[in-house]
Every structure is written in structure tokens, then in C-alpha cells.
Structure 1
Amino acid sequence: MSEQTQFTAAIVDFITGMDGQTPQGEHLRLARRCLMDGLAVALGGSEQPGMAPLARYIASIGGAGQGRPLGAGDVRLPAHLAALWTGTAGHAMDWDDTQLAEGPGRPYGLLMHPTMPPLAACLSLLDLAAAEGGAPVSGARFLTAFATGFEVGCKVAEAINPDHYMRGFHTSGTIGAFAATAAAARLLGLDADATARAIGIAASCAAGIRANFGTMTKPFHVGRAAENGVTAALLAREGFSANTEALDGKWGYLTIAGPGGEPELVAHRLGQPFTMVSPGVSIKPYPSGVLTHPSMDALRFLMRDEGLAAEDVAAVTLHAGSNVLGPIRFRIARTELEGKFSFAFLLSAIILRGRCGRQEFTDSFVASPECQDMQARVETAFDPAIEAMGWDRIRSRIELRTHDGRQFTRWADEAYRGGPDNPLSDREVEEKFTDNAAGLLDPARQQALFDLVWSIDTAPDAAALLDALHWGAFAHHGA
């Protein structure tokens, strides 16, 4: 058997061999942080405009009350639909964490959003697993399943040819399906054969294309990945058949969707080390693609250090390579969804508000006359010299001209805020949660949630997370 035909088997061995291996040490610390961040962005994302039609769609289907969608109170849904809701909410603001690249030729910071697919899958199965097992799912069991899915997704994303993303696949939707499947299989306790079949089923579901960036369908990719993972695991548990080497060989996922890949880079490194630990994960300070963050910070700190105000700014030009400019689709944003893929908007928000968070990502602010006027003053320029420096870091340069003729230049810091070399503090992660919870959870409930997450590995019932986060999201959307 070749190296490539062993990749699926290596993943199955890892998933089914995680008994008693709750994250420890630094892995545990980071897993709690990713959990806190994932819950934050899913809570805030649950009230985004795209969630209203999704809620109506889900309500129209109905079905067995197997699991609870995050934020929806006492609503019970089929587990796969609960995963669809939570996963979509978690990516609705594009504020969920980002996996860093490690292998050669991998564009730094441009692989996948690793937390939401496995987290949404695990949350959606908590009630079902407890009902079938006759006992609550412990925090340790929940965290182990989540971390298992996180690791599998990251390693598959490392293995597949980077051309997978460059050709237009959205990795968080495609590879996210394998992350969710691994988490669901681990939480449900599937054996090796069922786990391999679940991966095979997921391989025929894993999809998502970048043409839908800037629309409600982009976060739907992550919701669908979570849904696909839960569906695959439940189908496999019922005996549904699938190829048990579906990642491998001539017709396997890596070959077809890559095309190709280098599974030998990761097949023997699952958990050695965990990707969450090394090379690490970026917890985002802004609700947009991670490749935009260093430039946003560069402009923010330039204006702060030079004492500049919005009325001083005549023009801004961002110089960068294709790794930074390539995912940007909109010259001028008209909606908040387009704004996530428009440097004109992202930099205008920094100029006008000195920040770019949940309150700035609204259709009303993006379309406001002041924001539209400022966007017209912000340009991007491909820079061959920056391109020649390579894609191993997120590099860019801001040039700003004032109305009185002054010129300022600032390079983006390679140790960008939120990345492993310059991480958000635990307190900043909590503040991000508070930003997302504003108007939804009062301070006492937020603090109770903080206490629960920071000790989740010792919690007797992980479903307490869902209890703590309900605010009636489905009712809010009129579902």
C-alpha cells in the first residue's frame, strides 16, 4: 500500500485512538481559547441578516428534536440542521479563527477556519449523545471530540495541494466537512470501520466555491460543512456504505479536488504536534479575512501615532502581493457582506471609526455617504517587490496622503496582532465575546459563560454551554 493510500487509515486511527486523550497543557489552554472565540462569533453571528432566511428554511422542514442550535433557546431540531444553523452563524461575520500554513508552498494564513465546523458538529450532537448514552456528555469528552476534529481538518488542509484554494474552492467548506466528520465520529464513539465510511460519505459532500464570497452563501459553506459531518457520522452509524479510502488514490478527494497533495507531510504527524499548538492558530481581531488584518492595524496605528483624523485623509493606497489582494473581490463595498472582501471599506472603517468590529459591519454604515465617500479615496496596488518576498508572511505597505500634502508610509507588522507571535490576551478574547454578546447576554451571564469555558475540561455536562448561550435567536428571526 502506497503512502497516499494510507492517509485515510492514519486519520481513522487518530480519531478512534483519542480515548482518554483530553487536551493537556498548552493544547488545553489553546482549545479553551478557540472554544471561547467560536462561541463568541457564533453568538454574534446568529443575528446577522443571512440567518433570518436560514431560520425560516430550517423551521419549514421540522423533524426530530435531536439537538439545539446555538442561541435558539429551547428549540429542538434534527442534529444535522442544528449543526447547519450553528456553523453558519459562526462564520456569518467572518470573525472565526484561522489556521496557519506550515508546509512548503502553502500561503501563510490562508488554509481554513478550523474551529467552527467541528464545534458546531459537537454542539449539535450533545443532547442526542446524552439521550442515547443515558448520561450527560462531559466537558472532557466534548473537548476531546472538538480538538480531534480541529486537528484532522488542519492536517487534511496541509496535505491537499494549495491549488485547491487558488482554483476557487473554499477550504473551510470543503476540508471543514472532514473536520466536522471527525468530531462527530469521535463524540458518537464510532468504531474504525464506521469512521472510515463516515469520511467516505463526507468526501462526496465536501464543497464550497469562492465565487460566493461576499454573499450569504459563504458562511453557509461552514454551516454545510458542519451539517455534512453530522450527516456522514449518523449515516455511517446506521450502516451506510462508502469507500473507506476516500481521501486516497486515483479517484480520492485529494487527487480530484486538489488536484493532488502531499499526505506524506502529515500522515505521521497527526497530533505530533497538534496544529493548534504549532504552527498555531490566529484568533481574529477583526471580522474579515485574516490576510486583511495586518494592513488594517498598520493604518490604525499610523493614524494614532501621527495624530491624524478622518478629515485629514485625502487618499490611501495599499501596496501588497497577490496573496493579500487575490481574495479581495469588491473595489467599493455596498453591503457589509461585500465589505469583508473590500479593502476600501475595511480601511475606511479604520479611518472613520478607529475600529472595525460588529458595529461597523452593518449595511447602514457601509452604505452611508461618509463611508462611500471615504471608500472612493482608498486604492490597492499590486506590488511586484512585495510579491517577490514570498507568501510565507502577510506583507503590505500603507501610503497615506493628507489634504495639506503630507505623506506617510507604514509597513504592516509581520508579527500581526492575533497571530501566534502576537496573540490576543485571554482578556482580549473575553472582550471580543462581550462585543458579540452586546444586547444578547447581560454581564452576569457572560461572566458565567467565561467561568464555564475556562474550566470546560472539568465540567460534568458540556450542554451547559448551550444553556448559557440561549437568547431566542429563532424567535428573533420569526422562524
Structure 2
Amino acid sequence: MDSQRLVQKFLTSQVSEKSLQIAKAALFDYLTVSLAAQSLETEQLKTAYKEQLEGTSLLIGEKGLATKAFSALHNGFRAHLLDLDDTHSSVRGHPSAVLFSALLTELPYHSGKAFLASYVIGLEIMARLGMAVNPDHYLQGWHNTSTLGGLAAAGALAYLKQMTVDQTLHSMSIAASQAAGLQMQFGTPIKPLHAGLAAKQAVEAVAMAQAGLAAEKDFLFADRGFRAVYAPKLNVAPLLEDWGKSWQVNQPGLWVKSYPFCSAAMSGADAAEYLHQKEGLREDEIAGVEVLFFKGRDQALKNRQPKTGEEGRFSIEYIVWLGLTGQEYSLDAFSSKALSSALRRQLLKVQRTYQEGSSDEPFVTVTVNLTDGRKLSQQVTYPKGSPRNPLTEKERRKKFTTYVRGPWAKPLEEKIKRMEQEEGDSLFSFLQTINGGKTDGRTCD
């Protein structure tokens, strides 16, 4: 096999109506988490790129426009900043933060339906690449959101812009040469920056290819290419097997979060909350806690002794302790503020244990040993927000109103529902009226 077969396959694909509907829900969630992420870090990014704050492309939650490259960087960074954005199990990463951020740079120039279809194609590429390279690629320490996201976003843009096979190969090859992102950054602002960099790389790669810049076309399988360097154990079969029979956006589907922390902690968090609600646990009643994972499934939860709430996004010890003791999974709980020494001592009570083997439905079990000798345990396989236990439409809207100021939930939802019947510039104009949850004087239509 060579890379051209993959490109030819997705450039000629037609996505299903069901996939387009799921893409709309994904876009609503992407905009929710992006609008929620107003922070010092986004201002720092704008300061670093101040010369790019004039252009034609949208900055989510901001009045101004910017260059396409900075729009993709800013929006990808912002979408992933709170770790509240969706994930996908085949990817082992965050697809929407990268894909939508790249595609938004082209929104005014294409139909709403073409925009949504391109997202579905991008997710398909990213997920199939994930199935091909995982688990080894991820366990080696790469951040798949970034390493796979730039490739997939370049493919999605090529599909949207109806580029030729050769142009697409050059685009994806240029993106492949920029693939990067290390898991050591989990718990720092550089993790979400990976998503922005991937989106920016895709936008720039497509622009360079359209300008005629040529690259090695077989980016996946060439000597010293992507497979050789990033994924020596790459499994070719998932790249094309049963293409189009069931889109990855449908099956297995997206994980949509209610809380701003790593999805690897969602099952443990649900188990901890359940035990607190059932037993009304207090800190002084808890002698010790064990969290059982399938081996390797806690890879992203690298911070066993977090020093800040931000590091706590990737700490099952911190997240489970909050849940067991009835504390809210609020944005403030996962801020850059330092955790108290007393709380950090309590986290030492939480220990991880492991089960050998693998499972397509890996559960997490939280067991609490109480000071009176009792033992409580709760196992969760499908946490709230996972594809088999999805958020309802009402819960998605509640997520928006919880994290975003202003009366935008229903108007935005209605605008996205009409996307298939409208040109992309209609949504583009609407999004320009939203500035951090406040209107800049224009009205919603």
C-alpha cells in the first residue's frame, strides 16, 4: 500500500446524513468549550502573534479577525485549553479541537454542508490513523491530538477545497514533516497549544501545496517517512478496511465531556461521585482509596502528586478525591492555583492498581477503605458522555450555559441546525456577534 490509495479513497467519499447530524452536535460542543476558555494564556498568545491580528479569519470569542494561520492556532489552543473538548477512542486524542479550528479558516467560502462533511472526513482520517499506529505510538509518549491531527486536518481541508490527489499528498506530506507533540506537556498550557499548532500546520501545509511546493508524496510509507519514524509497528489494515460502511464519527463515536479534565479519568470520576452521593463520605472517614485500571489505560494521567489544579486535570488521585469528598469539578478546581499542602497529603491515600490484559470495554473500579473497617466499591464502564452513555441535547445545552456567559445557547444551536441549508458565511457572521458571551452591537438572526 502507499499513501495515494488513502487519499484517493477519502477525496471521493460521500458521507452519510447521520454523520452530518453528529458533526453538528460536535460543532456546538466545540464552540461551547472554545467560548468558555477566556484566560491569560489566550491573551499571551495574541501578544506573541500581534502582527497577525489583521486578516479575514475568525477568532472565537474575539471581535477582531486574523490571518488564517493565527486563527487556526488561536482557535485550536482555545478549544483544547480547558480539556473540556471531545475525544475519540480510536484516535486516543482530541479530534474536534484541531479539525474545526483548521476548517473554520475556510468557513465563509463554502456551504455549511460541505464544511460538516469535511469534518467527518477529517475525523475518519484521524481515527483510522489512530487505529493503525496505536497503542505503541501513544504509549511511546506522543500526543496523538498533535501528531495525527495535523495530517487529518490537512486532509479535511483538501476535501473541502476539492484539491487534486497530488495537491493533497503534498499537503499531508508537509504536515507530516511537522508532526510533533510530547505527553510531558500534559498539565501545562503547551498541551492545548499542540492542538492549535496542528491546525495551523494543516492550514499552512495546504497553502504551500496549492502554491506549488512539492514534497515526498508517500508520506506514510516512504523510507524514513511517518511509519518508519513515528510508528514502526503501524498496522496497515485499519487505514482502508470497510471504508464508508460505518463512519468513525458514528461508531465508536465521540466522548463528550461534562467536566474539564482528561477523559481517562471520566470513569473514575463517575464512580467517585456515585460513592459520595450514596454514602455522604467525609474526608476523615477515608483511610485509603484504590483505583483499578487496565494496564496502560491511565497513560495520560501522568501526575500522581499534582501541585496545581491544572496539573490535577491529569491526576486520577486528585479527581477521585474531589469526587469522593463532594467537591465540584469546577473550572476553579482545575486552575493554575497551587493546591494546599493539606490536600496534597490527602492525595497520598489514593493508590493505583492494575489489571493485566486488554478489553474493548475497559472499566475502572474505585474502592474506598473506611476508618471503621468497611470497604465500598464502584465500577464504571460507560461514564456519562461516552458513546454508550451520551449527553442528552438538554445536557449539552446545560454545558453551554454552565460555562459560557450570555443568552447564546439556543440561537447558536438553531443556527447550526440550519447549516445544511445555508452557506458557511451565515454561521461566520453569527459567530462574529459573539464576543466572550457579549454582543458587540449586532443582533442574532
> TM (normalized to structure 1)?
0.85
Matching residue within 411, 420, 427 for 1:448: 411
* AA of the residue aligned to 2:352: A
Aligned pair 1:117/2:117, yes or no? no
Aligned pair 1:98/2:87, yes or no? yes
How far apart, CA to CA, are the structure 1 residues paired with 2:175 and 2:416? 29
Matching residue within 382, 387, 391 for 2:353: 382
How far apart, CA to CA, are the structure 1 residues paired with 2:308 and 2:83? 14
How far apart, CA to CA, are the structure 2 residues paired with 1:63 and 1:283? 31
| Corresponding residue for residue 457 of structure 1 | 420
Deviation at 1:298, TM superposition (A): 0.6
Aligned residue for 1:415, secondary structure, equals coil
* AA of the residue aligned to 1:380: Q
Aligned residue for 2:65, secondary structure, equals coil
The more displaced of 116-125 and 83-92 is: 116-125
Aligned pair 1:81/2:70, yes or no? yes
| Corresponding residue for residue 281 of structure 1 | 254
| Corresponding residue for residue 11 of structure 1 | 6
Deviation at 1:344, TM superposition (A): 2.1
The more displaced of 463-472 and 245-254 is: 463-472
Matching residue within 41, 44, 62 for 1:50: 41
1:114–1:172 Cα contact (<8 Å) kept: yes
| Corresponding residue for residue 104 of structure 1 | none
Deviation at 1:329, TM superposition (A): 2.0
| Corresponding residue for residue 184 of structure 2 | 211
Aligned pair 1:189/2:162, yes or no? yes
Deviation at 1:288, TM superposition (A): 1.9
Deviation at 1:204, TM superposition (A): 0.4
How far apart, CA to CA, are the structure 1 residues paired with 2:282 and 2:20? 42
How far apart, CA to CA, are the structure 2 residues paired with 1:370 and 1:39? 37
How far apart, CA to CA, are the structure 1 residues paired with 2:268 and 2:432? 38
Judged with a 3 Å threshold, the aligned counterparts in structure 2 of structure 1 residues 189 and 173 are, in CA distance, closer, same or farther, namely same
How far apart, CA to CA, are the structure 2 residues paired with 1:24 and 1:203? 31
How far apart, CA to CA, are the structure 2 residues paired with 1:399 and 1:32? 39
How far apart, CA to CA, are the structure 2 residues paired with 1:353 and 1:469? 34
Deviation readout 1:330-381 (Å, 9 max, x if unpaired)? 22222232111112221222234444143432234x624664454343x222
* AA of the residue aligned to 2:420: D
Matching residue within 59, 63, 67 for 1:69: 59
Aligned pair 1:154/2:127, yes or no? yes
2:112–2:421 Cα contact (<8 Å) kept: yes
Equivalent positions of 1:307-326 (< 5 A) are: 307-310=280-283, 312-326=285-299
How far apart, CA to CA, are the structure 1 residues paired with 2:187 and 2:262? 11
Judged with a 3 Å threshold, the aligned counterparts in structure 2 of structure 1 residues 371 and 23 are, in CA distance, closer, same or farther, namely farther
Matching residue within 387, 393, 396 for 1:429: 396
1:94–1:289 Cα contact (<8 Å) kept: yes
2:72–2:200 Cα contact (<8 Å) kept: yes
* AA of the residue aligned to 1:451: E
* AA of the residue aligned to 1:24: E
Aligned residue for 1:326, secondary structure, equals coil
Matching residue within 359, 365, 378 for 1:397: 365
Deviation at 1:212, TM superposition (A): 1.4
How far apart, CA to CA, are the structure 2 residues paired with 1:322 and 1:468? 47
* AA of the residue aligned to 1:431: K
Judged with a 3 Å threshold, the aligned counterparts in structure 2 of structure 1 residues 468 and 391 are, in CA distance, closer, same or farther, namely farther
How far apart, CA to CA, are the structure 1 residues paired with 2:415 and 2:253? 24
Deviation readout 1:426-456 (Å, 9 max, x if unpaired)? 211221222221x3xx12x222112112332
Deviation at 1:289, TM superposition (A): 1.9
Deviation at 1:394, TM superposition (A): 2.8
How far apart, CA to CA, are the structure 2 residues paired with 1:164 and 1:347? 28
| TM-align CA RMSD | 2.4
1:151–1:271 Cα contact (<8 Å) kept: no
**Any stretches of 5+ residues in structure 2 without a counterpart?**
441-445
How far apart, CA to CA, are the structure 1 residues paired with 2:249 and 2:180? 24
| Corresponding residue for residue 407 of structure 1 | 375
The more displaced of 231-240 and 310-319 is: 310-319
Aligned residue for 1:363, secondary structure, equals coil
1:449–1:468 Cα contact (<8 Å) kept: no
How far apart, CA to CA, are the structure 1 residues paired with 2:152 and 2:279? 45
How far apart, CA to CA, are the structure 2 residues paired with 1:216 and 1:252? 29
How far apart, CA to CA, are the structure 2 residues paired with 1:455 and 1:14? 29
Q: Percent of aligned pairs with the same residue?
A: 26
Deviation at 1:155, TM superposition (A): 1.3
Judged with a 3 Å threshold, the aligned counterparts in structure 2 of structure 1 residues 423 and 311 are, in CA distance, closer, same or farther, namely same
Aligned pair 1:265/2:238, yes or no? yes
2:52–2:70 Cα contact (<8 Å) kept: no
Aligned residue for 2:49, secondary structure, equals helix
Deviation readout 1:232-255 (Å, 9 max, x if unpaired)? 111111111111211123332122
| Corresponding residue for residue 443 of structure 2 | none
Aligned residue for 2:188, secondary structure, equals coil
2:415–2:427 Cα contact (<8 Å) kept: no
1:358–1:435 Cα contact (<8 Å) kept: no
Deviation readout 1:116-157 (Å, 9 max, x if unpaired)? 111000112334xx3xxxxxx321121122222111111111
> TM (normalized to structure 2)?
0.91
* AA of the residue aligned to 2:42: M
2:20–2:117 Cα contact (<8 Å) kept: no
2:254–2:387 Cα contact (<8 Å) kept: yes
